[in-house]
């Protein structure tokens, strides 16, 4: 549970960095697209956490997992579709990059843990 909280905190920090960067360069695609995509990524990850808790505590069924999965992908589809419809393909690609926020943070956390293990094992 601590790693999930740490991941959420890092994702919010990354979102903050994205919005500050977008405001500095005054680019609409970064401010709206990447920041919006990163917030949707955090929301989808939170939905996964809620689904896992409800399925494990209640002894949920196969249908509950499928419904949660479909809700998340519907959210992704609506966000990407609305970005493409209202702002164009560039905004859709920017939103898609923002949607990778949680995945990027997980990857960085795993690389850091592996680096620390390597350092402790071989560089003492």
How do residues 79-119 score in pLDDT, each as one tens digit? Answer: 999 999 999 999 999 999 999 999 999 999 999 999 999 99
| pLDDT for the residue 61 | 76
What is each CA distance from 6 to 9, 21, 37, in whole angstroms?
A: 5, 22, 20
pLDDT higher than threshold 90 for residue 54? no
Average pLDDT over every residue of 17-32: 91
Give the HSE-up count for residue 117: Cα atoms under 13 Å, Cβ half-sphere.
6
Q: Can you give the residue range of the structural domain that contains 10?
A: 2-122
53: confidence class by pLDDT, cuts 50, 70, 90: confident
CA dihedral 54, 59, 65, 66 (to 10 degrees): -140
Domain count, the chain: 1
Question: Phi and psi of 123, rounded to 5°?
Answer: -115, 35
- Whether the predicted model's global pTM rises above the 0.85 cut: yes
């Amino acid at each position: 549970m601590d790693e999930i909280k740490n991941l959420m905190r890092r994702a919010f920090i990354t979102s903050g960095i994205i919005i500050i960067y977008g405001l500095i360069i005054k680019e609409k695609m970064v401010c709206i697209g990447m920041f919006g995509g990163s917030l949707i990524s955090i929301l989808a990850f939170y939905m996964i956490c809620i689904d896992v808790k409800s399925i494990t505590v209640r002894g949920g069924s196969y249908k509950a997992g499928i419904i949660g999965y479909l809700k998340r992908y519907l959210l992704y589809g609506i966000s990407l579709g609305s970005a493409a419809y209202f702002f164009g393909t560039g905004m859709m690609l920017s939103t898609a990059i923002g949607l990778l926020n949680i995945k990027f943070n997980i990857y960085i956390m795993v690389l850091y843990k592996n680096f620390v293990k390597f350092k402790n094992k071989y560089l003492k």
